[in-house]
Amino acid sequence: MDQLVKPHGKERKLKPLLLEGRELEEATGKAKTLTKINISSRETGDAIMMGIGGFTPLDGFMRSEDWKSVVKDMHMVDGTFWPIPVTVSTSKEEADSIKEGQEITLIDEDHGTVMAIMTVTEKYTIDKELECKEVFRTTDPQHPGVAMVMAQKDVNLGGTVKVLSESYFPTDFPDIYQRPAEARAIFSERGWSSVAALQLRNPMHNSHAYLAKVAIEVTDGVYIHQLLGELKPGDIPADVRVRCIDALVQNYFRPERVVQGGYPLDMRYAGPREALLHALFRQNYGCSHLIVGRDHAGVGDYYGPFDAQKIFDELPSGALETQPLKMDWTFYDYRLGEMASMKTSPHEEKAVLDEDGNYVSGARLLLSGTMLRKMLSEGKPVPKEFSKPEVVAILREYYASLEEKVEVKLHGAATGDAGK
């Protein structure tokens, strides 16, 4: 009997909106005859997540009352917990040509793919600054999530969707892209009842590996679940990350305790609120826990290093079944000769390395994906304690292939100086 955590929502079962078979064939023909609206990469990813059941129990893009309730109170009008708005927008001119109750076709503007048929039940404008202030805790236009919201078109469309495509994800990532039902089937086949999800958007370095192994000790297995959608400049593309993870799993883990998967969303970089969204859709994927470490889903110095852990303590009882595995900052402790955390290491001095990455003095070598990317992008030595040689080799090959280098800036959450 399936002992996995139940999907999110009152019905406690997956609600995929993706059409198949004859329904898909008929809807695809119909979509060609309808008014067409281009949607962004973020909106496309949201549509796919609704299609595959990752955003259960949503039935479409949010109406105004749900948008307002989610922004201010983190739940929809019917009381269903939801931490981040899921909306689609269009220009005022296009909105004026659409009548409420009308069906329209949503087109992925980057790839020209017919994504969904939407029945528009409402047209409304939003207070973008309010959304940014509540969701991102800032209105700074330099924040990539704020910039994403501010770039939205003038009018939001609310209504139900029928999803027609998963875009390029099944073909470009055939070995890693998964629907929630597929992940659940793998977990059930392995006899797992407790599963810890490890969210990744960076290559897997030794801190990630340490967190995964700690999670395996207290659950049946770990789901290394990485983002396949759009990132900010300087982040490592998904296909390179997959190779890094494969190298780690095959050489340093018991493979039967690890499942690797991918999902089609763009990063919003919403820190604490996005951590809640990550837990919510991991519940739909069958995960009982989400590993929440330092600066989860953060960017720059907009959030405290453990704000994404604290927000789970503010939730009302029963809001989510998937619970956080709260992990402290991890690092390599030269004096202990092993990986450790702020909770376990008695040493506080930062490690000092020479220009070749060799140990000189101190104890703690703080690890982060940002620091790893910066070292590699600048061609600097990577200490062997930072990442496994197989991973470093793959990443060096990637950076050598780049025609244009992207500057990687360190921030407080990556160096240990946040809040100082």
The angle subtended at Cα 387 by Cα 386 and Cα 393, nearest 5°, is 135
Question: With contact defined as beta carbons under 8 Å apart, do 195 and 187 qualify?
Answer: yes
The two structure tokens encoding residue 343: 């909770």
Measured in whole angstroms, the distance separating CA 272 from the mean position of its chain's CA atoms is 12
Residue 292 Cα distances to 4, 68, 217, 347, 396, angstroms: 20, 27, 16, 23, 28
Out of 63, 184, 201, 273, the active site residue is 201
> Which of 42, 179, 202, 364 is labelled catalytic?
202
Q: What SS3 class is residue 58?
A: coil
Give the up-direction half-sphere exposure of residue 38: CA atoms within 13 A in the CB hemisphere.
Answer: 9
Cα separation values, 58 from 11, 14, 85, Å? 12, 10, 11
Alpha-carbon separation of residue 400 from 210, 268, 394, 407 (angstroms): 28, 28, 10, 15
DSSP 24: H
Which phi and psi (to 5°) does residue 200 adopt?
Answer: -135, 135
Note whether 9 and 56 are within 8 A (CB): yes
Rounded-to-integer distance, Cα 330 and Cα 171, Å: 36
CB 260 within 8 A of CB 296: no
294 classed as catalytic: no
**CA 329 to CA 313: how far, in whole Å?**
19
Distance (Å, whole) CA 331 – CA 328: 10
Q: Are 267 and 229 in contact (CB under 8 A)?
A: yes
Helix (H) or strand (E) holding 105: strand 103-108
SS3 at position 313 = helix
- The C-alpha R_g of the chain, in whole angstroms, comes to 22
Cα separation of 388 and 390, whole Å?
6
Active site residue 284: no
Residues 408, 62: Cα–Cα separation, whole Å: 36
Name which of 29, 43, 284, 279 is nearest 167 in CA terms.
43
Q: Which residues are catalytically annotated?
A: 201-202
